């Protein structure tokens, strides 16, 4: 017989809601959205003047297989915005679980995030980082405005994927699968 006490609590975590009149508390919304566990990427690009940009992003998503399209969104307030707007390509690196320090490095604004980082040049000059479990090189194909972010849609022109466990992000913290070996 099953023990009712062991059933999952369907109301667990349901202690922050928007009001019935639709008022949304941004902090509560952010916390609720943070329940959606994601992988972690670093997205890089280079513009026509040779300026490089790179940031940590968990908004990455697959969109379409045929044609192959991926998306991610960038804050309109990000210092790197102009470079991503002006780049012909971007590269998406899906981080391995031992790349948390790199994720924090690329999540911190800096004049030259690439100063101490070894890269090789990818399509459109996008800097390619070592150690990712998957890398997608994309044509910077379409852009859409969405509130305080721009959504970039990339056409995948080249990709590679290897072994290794992913770095995860949930509720503002990095982690990994409990059953990872
Ligand atoms: C796990 C994680 C995920 C992030 N995801 C995004 C994202 O999807 N879009 C975004 O604009 N910023 C995101 N950020 C914040 C950027 O990485 C951060 O603002 C970075 O400094 C932006 O790069 P820039 O300062 O060179 O413009 C994320 C930060 C972390 C730690």
Pocket test for ligand 1, best of 43, 55, 117 (most atoms within 8 A of CB): 55
Distance in angstroms between the alpha carbons of the first and the last residue of the chain: 33
- The answer, yes or no, to whether residue 1 has pLDDT greater than 50, is no
Ligand 1, CB within 6 Å, residue ranges: 40, 53, 55-59, 72-75, 78-80, 107-109, 169
As a whole-number percent, the residues of the chain with pLDDT over 90 amount to 84
Q: Which domains does the chain have, with CATH numbers?
A: 37-172 (2.30.110.10)
CA of 150 to the centre of ligand 1 (A): 13
- Identify the pLDDT of residue 85: 97
Round to whole Å and give the CA distance between 49 and 65: 32
Round to whole Å and give the CA distance between 92 and 40: 10
Residue 40 CA, chain-centre distance (Å), reads 5
SS3 breakdown of the chain: % helix, strand, coil, rounded to 5? 15, 40, 45
Instruction: Look up the pTM and report it.
Output: 0.91
* Tens of pLDDT, residues 101-130: 999 999 999 999 999 999 999 999 999 999
- The answer, yes or no, to whether residue 7 has pLDDT greater than 50, is no
- The larger pLDDT score, comparing residue 1 to residue 174, is at 174
Give nearest CA residue, ligand 1 atom 17: 107
* Tens of pLDDT, residues 23-58: 899 999 999 999 999 999 999 999 999 999 999 999
| Ligand 1 atom, smallest distance to 80 CA | 27
Query: What values do phi and psi take at 106, rounded to 5?
Result: -85, -5
* Tens of pLDDT, residues 128-163: 999 999 999 999 999 999 999 999 999 999 999 999
CA of 57 to the centre of ligand 1 (A): 5
């Amino acid at each position: 017989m099953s023990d009712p006490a062991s059933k999952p609590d369907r109301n667990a975590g349901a202690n922050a809601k928007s009001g019935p009149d639709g008022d949304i508390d941004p902090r509560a919304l952010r916390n609720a959205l943070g329940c959606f566990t994601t992988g972690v990427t670093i997205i890089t690009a280079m513009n026509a003047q040779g300026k490089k940009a790179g940031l940590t992003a968990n908004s990455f998503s697959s969109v379409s297989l045929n044609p192959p399209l991926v998306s991610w969104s960038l804050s309109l307030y990000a210092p790197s915005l102009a470079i991503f707007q002006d780049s012909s390509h971007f590269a998406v690196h899906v981080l391995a679980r031992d790349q948390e320090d790199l994720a924090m490095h690329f999540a911190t604004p800096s004049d030259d995030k690439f100063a101490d980082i070894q890269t090789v040049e990818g399509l459109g000059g996008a800097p390619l980082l070592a150690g990712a479990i998957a890398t997608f090189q994309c044509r910077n194909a379409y852009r859409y405005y969405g509130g305080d972010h721009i959504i970039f849609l990339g056409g995948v022109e080249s990709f590679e994927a290897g072994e290794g466990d992913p770095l995860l992000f949930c509720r503002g913290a990095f982690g990994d699968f409990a059953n990872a070996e």
